[in-house]
Structure 1
Amino acid sequence: MPGMTMGPPDGAYAEGSGTARNPGNDGAMRGSHFMAGDWMLMLHGYAWGVYTDQGGPRGENEAFVTSMAMLSAARDYGGARLQLRSMMSLEPAMGKKGYPNLFATGETADGRIQLTDRQHPHDLFMELSARLDVDAGPGSVFVYGGPVAEPAIGPSAFMHRTSATYQPLSPITHHWFDSTHISYGVVTVGYAASRWQLEASAFRGREPDQFRWNIERPSLDSWSVRATWTPSPAWAVQISHGRLKSPEQLEPDRDEARTTASVQYARHGVSALLAFSNKHLLPGRTLTAWLAEANWDIDRHHTLFARAEDVANDELFPDRTDPLHDRKFRVGKLEGGYAYRLPFVGPFDLALGGSVGVFAKPSALDAAYGKMPVSFSLFAKVSLGG
């Protein structure tokens, strides 16, 4: 999924989720654009039907639907620009346990037991924010935030990266890179120029709870800083660091220091990402993760995509009586797939496809996960504007 709005006149970058930047060649968000007086409105969304079989003793098979709808409005005020954003999802309707995703961990379905080998659903309210840019020298000073927004840490969230456009499942490294993309309470200030951006955020560190239909009470108990460099429309490079207060509901006395770095590339129909994250638990150990993903639009109809992940995870056995509880294991996942794209109805497009995933893990996990679990997913994705 390309950038959220148009970037600068020279196309050096495209706006991503929150205040993040994607390569300019990713282009503006595909969707319906129209004028309402002085306001330019953009409407985008998708509904994504997926059937997945995650393989192995702990892998479940299930059909589910993920969804997202966005509405943004922007206008100029002389030397200033105002943008309003809203983003919502009906994923809470799938149930608090979310969907199967082998080796994914994080958050909880009931406030007592951690979700393991499943991906939690998004909240109904994914973003309710505003951004104001005021011209200053060669760039602009900006302030961004709202009751539901995204702080300045990590690359664009996975559903806003073109490199992940047709990946049917969230990354198993989601809680290392972009778990903050729905934060209740965010204020970000920064300076944005065509080729670079510096910014700092105050936000609520606690991740959303199991009640997905409401808006939780905002607070500003955590902080982050991020520097982004976009040397040309083909590249976007970021490095960021944040201190998150009590991010996990089930471990309220543990904070997190997170450092991420990423490089994104987009040219000739290829969009790719390489990212690293260092998650230092306070108190506790350090857990690192690598993520690489790519999307290749071969022509108007055919797309190939792939994702590779490697992560150190100590949450695979949440039962405190299990002998493997709290042990750190390095696991990997390689997933590749194909999508066929075609016009659907009016402004809507349809993509039909599937993917296959294989896993790397230590032999100590064979009893729980099997020796060679293999997953596959089939999907139909209906999008407004692509």
Structure 2
Amino acid sequence: MADMPAMTMGMGGTSYQMGSGTARLPAAEGMMRGKMIHAGDWMLMAHGYAWGVYTDQGGPRGSDKAFVASMAMLMADRDLGERLHLQLRGMGSLEPAMGARGYPNLFATGEVANGRPLVDRQHPHDLFMELSARLDYRIGDGSVFVYAAPVGEPALGPSAFMHRGSARYQPLSPITHHWFDSTHITYGVVTAGYQTGAFQLEGSAFKGREPDEHRWGIESPKLDSWSVRGTWTPTANVAVQLSHGRLESPEESHPGEDENRTTASLQYARGGVTTTFAYALKDRAPGPALSAFLAEATWEIDRHHAIFGRVENVANDELFPDHDDPLHDRKFRVTKAEAGYAYRIPILGPFGVALGGTVAAYDKPAALDAAYGKAPVSWSLFTKFALGL
């Protein structure tokens, strides 16, 4: 597969890869995969994928669906002088075509469709996932940078799941998405920071409210929330981040409730193995504090074979949105364990396809048996076409 050389933001040699937004990944995850083109002073990179997925989510509240998930990204870089570097990035998706209710994903919650909270489903991404510009100015061995986007990602949490090597072949989003990744599409972001090869400190002002269910357009940007993040990349194998943010009324189903979100993660990569271990705490104001844990890994055994898995544990109080339900607003801790296999096939040039499947099982309180069944099992089959698989 054609690979993109490791991005060295700040115009210095570094031990990290560029992740989503301004996040860092371990350089040993491998080079960013896509198609690179040199056009004069510009270096262009294209990346994208389309998943064809059939999933059958088990138990009484599960359902099945065939759907297509997609993403396309175009990035352009150039130096504007000896010290100044510019990067432009655009990213989009055709997932709004799958409908406002997205696809079934047992125990996933967050956002709304047709005016009702989504439960046991994953919402589609917006047409516009990122439209951003970043300027880096080198100072000695480091650089200062500014990232601005009408649609982008603030400095909060690890790199979003679709950009992590540890989740490369996972066809469904994590059920902890709204603990770690929900700000990766934010309408209005300004981030400023300082970085060296081993450290990055940054802060963001951004819009706290999550995207609405009208996913074909661009919402009005707003800067009413903030976050700070520190990232340490001591070697090419390790990326550690700690972040905290204050989000103004992020969830439409919880109007008037702000959120203090804290995340910590460790990502490790070596020899075809990529891993992510992460913790997050959503502390609503007013409201309960809800924690989540995630561990995921991918092992690309050779050119063709890959195995992967994900374990999540989350405390969630949104499983019963009906106010008349006796379980409404009760907090339940649920664990999901999922494992899968992918067979990778090169097609032509940078294009490839991966064929595979996953199986997931759950551990939950007995109080949920009546709604979810005693031991639900879910499975998915997928075909992933990618530019840089």
Would the TM-score normalized by the shorter structure come out above 0.5? Answer: yes
Map 1:1-386; keep pairs closer than 5 Å. Answer: 6-7=7-8, 10-77=13-80, 78-110=82-114, 112-386=115-389
Which residues of structure 1 form unaligned runs of 5+? none
* C-alpha contact (below 8 Å) 2:291/2:314 kept by paired residues: yes
Deviations 1:194-246 (A, max 9, x none): 00000000000000000000000000000000000000000000000000001
Amino acid at match of 1:176: W
Runs ≥4 in structure 1, deviation > 2 angstroms?
2-5, 7-11
Residue 5 (structure 1) shift: 5.6
Deviation of 1:27 after TM superposition, in Å, equals 2.9
TM-score (norm 2): 0.97
Alpha-carbon RMSD: 1.2
- How many residues of Structure 1 are paired with residues of Structure 2 in the alignment? 384
Deviations 1:145-183 (A, max 9, x none): 110010000000000000000001000000000100000
Whether the 8 Å contact between 2:206 and 2:224 is mirrored in structure 1 is yes
In structure 2, do the counterparts of structure 1 residues 149 and 5 end up closer, same or farther at CA, with 3 Å as the change threshold? farther
The question of whether the paired residues in 1 share the 8 Å contact of 2:27 and 2:237 is answered with yes
Q: Which amino acid aligns with 1:81?
A: H
**Distance of 1:79 and 1:190 partners within structure 2:** 16
CA–CA distance in structure 2, aligned partners of residues 7 and 76 of structure 1: 12
Query: Secondary structure, in 3 states, of the residue corresponding to 2:255?
Result: coil
Whole-angstrom distance in 2 between the partners of 1:348 and 1:176: 33
Letter in 1 for 2:371: A
Q: Is the 8 A contact 1:230 1:237 kept in 2?
A: yes
Distance 1:145 1:252 in 2: 27
Letter in 1 for 2:109: T
Matched residues in 2 for 1:371 and 1:10: separation? Answer: 53
CA distance in 1, matches of 2:210, 2:327: 25
In 2, the alpha carbon distance for the partners of 1:289 and 1:277 equals 5
User: 3-state SS of the aligned residue for 1:368?
Assistant: helix
Q: Indicate if the aligned counterparts of 1:255 and 1:281 stay in contact, CA closer than 8 A.
A: yes
> Match for 1:335: what amino acid?
E
Distance 1:113 1:7 in 2: 43
Give CA deviations for 1:52-75 in whole Å, capped at 9, x if unaligned. Answer: 001000010110000000001000
Same amino acid, percent of matched pairs:
67
C-alpha separation between the residues in 1 aligned to 2:334 and 2:348? 42
In the alignment, the residues of structure 2 paired with residue 7 and residue 59 of structure 1 have an alpha-carbon distance, to the nearest angstrom, of 44
The code of the aligned residue for 1:287 comes to L
The code of the aligned residue for 2:153 comes to E
Deviations 1:308-329 (A, max 9, x none): 0000000000111110000000
Contact in 2 for aligned 1:4/1:14 (Cα 8 Å): no
Equivalent residues of 1:15, 1:28 under 8 A apart: no
Q: Amino acid of the residue matched to residue 125 of structure 1?
A: F
Q: Secondary structure in 2 aligned to 1:253?
A: coil
Cα drift, residue 6 of structure 1: 1.1
* Unmatched segments (≥5 aa) in structure 2: none
Distance, in Å, in 2 between the alignment partners of 1:11 and 1:339 is 31
TM-score normalized by structure 1? 0.98
Partner secondary structure for residue 382 of structure 2: strand
CA distance in 2, matches of 1:156, 1:252: 27
What is the DSSP-based 3-state SS (H/G/I as helix, E as strand, rest coil) of the residue aligned with 2:348?
A: coil
